[in-house]
Chains A and B, each alone.
Chain A
């Protein structure tokens, strides 16, 4: 089975801190994604990566950056955390395919910024 592992289930940080969320997948997937999930808004794409060191902005990249130094690992960075970044963060991975590949998700990190 595909396994996508997020480093923390719950995280509490203070405004202004630099925050790192880590995600590892074990299925040699080319694609990796970071989403945030808020009630009534579904999942919104922050950034994605289709290869090592490659990244593209999603729909809501402001205030975030990402790093993909190895194929299996994709990190989301909050440069200076703010309270409006309190949310559930989901990492996903998939094989490269133009249309029909499913995405496999981790269990999420619930991040609170105080």
Chain B
């Protein structure tokens, strides 16, 4: 089974701080998606990165796909309490009939006001 390791597993920071979450694998993925999950809800897609080296920005969030398409990072600038949640990366693999996702182990972020 292909694995996606995320680090750190937990992160507790003060409002206004910057942070980076890493998503690493030894396998190559066709694309990589980032989801955020809030308590009591299912994960919601934030972004999809497709091309090696690609950088996408979503307001204060910056996503990067590694050149070799094996890893990705999520950088949050000036974190706010509303950023609190579980962040999951997911690598796409083609599994015969359709696409499937391999999910990372998750990073639980708590932003204190």
Q: What residues make up the interface of A, taking CB atoms closer than 8 Å to B?
A: 4, 30-31, 33, 35, 40-45, 48, 50, 54, 56, 58-59, 90, 92, 94, 96-108
Q: In the bound complex, do residue A107 and residue B40 qualify as a contact, i.e. CB atoms below 8 Å apart?
A: yes
Cross-chain contact A99 with B42 (CB below 8 angstroms): no
Query: Is the Cβ of A42 less than 8 Å from the Cβ of B94?
Result: no
Interface size of B by CB at 8 A reads: 30
Given contacts A42-B105, A99-B30, is CB(A48)–CB(B100) below 8 Å? yes
Contact between B42 and A90, CB atoms less than 8 A apart: yes
A58 vs B100: C-alpha distance when bound (angstroms): 9
What is the CA–CA distance of A107 and B42 in the complex, to the nearest angstrom? 4
Q: Point out the residues of chain A lying under 8 angstroms from B45, CB to CB.
A: 102-104
Is B101 close to A, CB under 8 A? yes
Q: Which of B48, B92, B106 contacts A42 (CB 8 A)?
A: B106
Enumerate the 8 nearest inter-chain pairs by beta-carbon distance, A residue then B residue, closest first. Answer: A105-B42, A43-B103, A102-B45, A42-B103, A99-B30, A50-B98, A50-B97, A42-B105
- In the complex formed, the residue of B with least CB distance to A9 is B40
- Assess the A42–B88 pair: CB atoms within 8 A: yes
When the two chains form their complex, are residues B41 and A107 in contact, meaning their CB atoms are under 8 A apart?
yes
A98 to B41, CA, bound (A): 26
CB of A105 to closest CB in B, whole Å: 3
